[in-house]
């Protein structure tokens, strides 16, 4: 019996978890359910085994086939068990069909308001240009990663949509960023910006004054990746490194906000609605990554877990610090992630 449930956990983790999470209305009826086990190479077959309480049969992939034929012949005393299996089927359908829709549309729902706000106010003051940098580099890498490891199509579409949205966001932010003084008369593309909002970086990377330099960097970056894909695309080691680098970069997105909150000892300017949106998004992603039957590489799962942990820590910071003035009272409000 122990090996049976071990095989169930490995083959159908969603069904295994729901068997124990869903409430049981009639434990006596569940005792008499016939267990559906996994036979090597033969798919599913019925096994006459009396199952302890809160155990249930194995569900199929779709709502139509989720209830084993043995359960369809059970007497009325086992209706509660059939209802549990039906609920399992509905939950699986929601995970399989609704989560991909959320993933694909999340770039638009997350950043559309930011784009409209910058365009409406004619200023990108307080918005960190590192956000488009992180998301563009990560999304372009994920697209090339898909060429070597054909993961779920919904994740590929999400990366492509994210590239379009972030290009638009970067364009709007650059056009409406605060002037640097003699910005338009400079001839050197890597001339550094000065001001309290800018730290020192090698070659003033991603702090350039000319808008053209940003687009040149993205173009060169894409060309280099295309060349590497041409020569190393068949190497599984390169493909794996590419995936982990892409998702590790994306996972660092909450870190600037965490550091800013820690420095100020305050979350002032960090909107609670944004935090809630991130946490809901993490819930959808984790549910889809771990419970979906689609092909989701472990790189997505591990980096998604790290980003979800960072977002949860942001929630802890909000609970600890609140929206008080903190140690630097009177500073201008800003959100380093979504502004």
pLDDT tens digits, one per residue of 6-44:
555 555 555 555 554 444 444 434 434 344 433 334 444
d(CA 112, CA 259): 25
**% residues pLDDT > 70 (the chain):** 63
Q: Where residue 219 falls among pLDDT bands split at 50, 70, 90?
A: very high
Domain residues for 143? 98-321
pLDDT beyond 80 at 138: yes
pTM of structure: 0.64
Question: HSE (CB half, 13 Å, CA atoms) of 65?
Answer: 4
Residues in the chain: 339
Is residue 208 located within the same domain as residue 62?
no
Is residue 263 located within the same domain as residue 202?
yes
Is residue 309 located within the same domain as residue 284?
yes
pLDDT beyond 80 at 118: yes
Is residue 65 located within the same domain as residue 180?
no
Is residue 117 located within the same domain as residue 73?
no
| Residue corresponding to tokens 């012949």 | 73
Lowest-confidence region among 178-182, 285-289, 307-311? 178-182
How many C-beta atoms lie closer than 10 Å to residue 26's C-beta? 12
In a domain, 335, yes or no: no
Of 104, 139, 316, 164, which Cα lies nearest the Cα of 225?
A: 139
In a domain, 294, yes or no: yes
pLDDT computed for residue 116 by the predictor: 87
Which of 31, 59, 90 is the last residue in one of the domains? 90
d(CA 183, CA 205): 17
In a domain, 327, yes or no: no
Total domains in the chain come to: 2
pLDDT beyond 70 at 56: no
In a domain, 242, yes or no: yes
> CA of 288: how far to CAs of 144, 152, 269, 301, in Å?
22, 11, 31, 10
Sign of CA dihedral 115, 120, 122, 125: negative
pLDDT beyond 80 at 198: no
Is residue 224 located within the same domain as residue 256?
yes
d(CA 196, CA 247): 31
Is residue 110 located within the same domain as residue 25?
no
Average pLDDT for the chain: 72
- Going by the DSSP 8-state scheme, the letter that residue 332 receives in this structure is P
Which of 166-170, 183-187, 240-244 is most confident? 166-170
Q: Where residue 159 falls among pLDDT bands split at 50, 70, 90?
A: very high
d(CA 222, CA 157): 18
In a domain, 330, yes or no: no
**% residues pLDDT > 90 (the chain):** 22
Residue 127: strand pairing partners: none
d(CA 46, CA 171): 60
Q: What is the pLDDT of residues 61-113, one digit of tens each?
A: 444 444 444 444 445 545 577 777 777 777 777 777 777 888 888 888 878 88
> CA of 152: how far to CAs of 19, 230, 255, in Å?
27, 22, 27
């Amino acid at each position: 019996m122990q090996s049976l449930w071990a095989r169930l956990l490995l083959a159908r983790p969603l069904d295994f978890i729901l068997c124990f999470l869903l409430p049981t209305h009639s434990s006596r009826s569940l005792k008499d359910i016939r267990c559906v086990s996994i036979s090597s190479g033969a798919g599913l077959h019925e096994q006459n085994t009396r199952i302890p309480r809160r155990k249930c049969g194995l569900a199929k992939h779709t709502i139509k086939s989720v209830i084993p034929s043995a359960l369809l012949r059970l007497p009325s005393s086992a209706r509660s068990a059939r209802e549990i299996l039906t609920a399992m089927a509905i939950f699986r359908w929601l995970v399989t069909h609704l989560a991909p829709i959320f993933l694909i549309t999340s770039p638009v729902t997350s950043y559309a308001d930011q784009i409209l706000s910058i365009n409406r106010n004619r200023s990108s003051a307080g918005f960190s240009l590192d956000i488009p940098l992180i998301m563009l580099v990560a999304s372009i890498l994920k697209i090339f990663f898909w060429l070597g490891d054909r993961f779920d199509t919904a994740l590929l579409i999400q990366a492509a949509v994210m590239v379009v949205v972030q290009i638009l966001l970067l364009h709007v932010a650059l056009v409406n960023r605060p002037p640097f003084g003699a910005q338009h008369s400079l001839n050197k593309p890597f001339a550094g910006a000065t001001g309290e909002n800018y730290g020192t970086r090698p070659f003033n990377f991603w702090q350039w004054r000319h808008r053209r330099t940003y687009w040149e960097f993205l173009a060169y970056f894409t060309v280099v990746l295309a060349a590497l894909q041409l020569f190393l695309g068949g190497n599984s080691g390169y493909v794996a490194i590419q995936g982990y680098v892409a998702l590790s970069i994306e996972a660092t997105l909450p870190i600037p906000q965490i550091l800013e909150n820690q420095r100020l000892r305050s979350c002032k300017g960090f909107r609670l609605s944004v935090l809630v949106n991130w946490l809901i998004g993490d819930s959808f992603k984790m549910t889809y990554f771990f419970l979906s039957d689609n092909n989701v590489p472990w790189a997505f799962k591990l980096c998604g877990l790290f980003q979800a942990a960072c977002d949860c820590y942001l929630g802890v910071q909000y609970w600890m610090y609140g929206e008080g003035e903190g140690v630097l009272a009177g500073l201008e409000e800003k959100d380093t992630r979504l502004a």
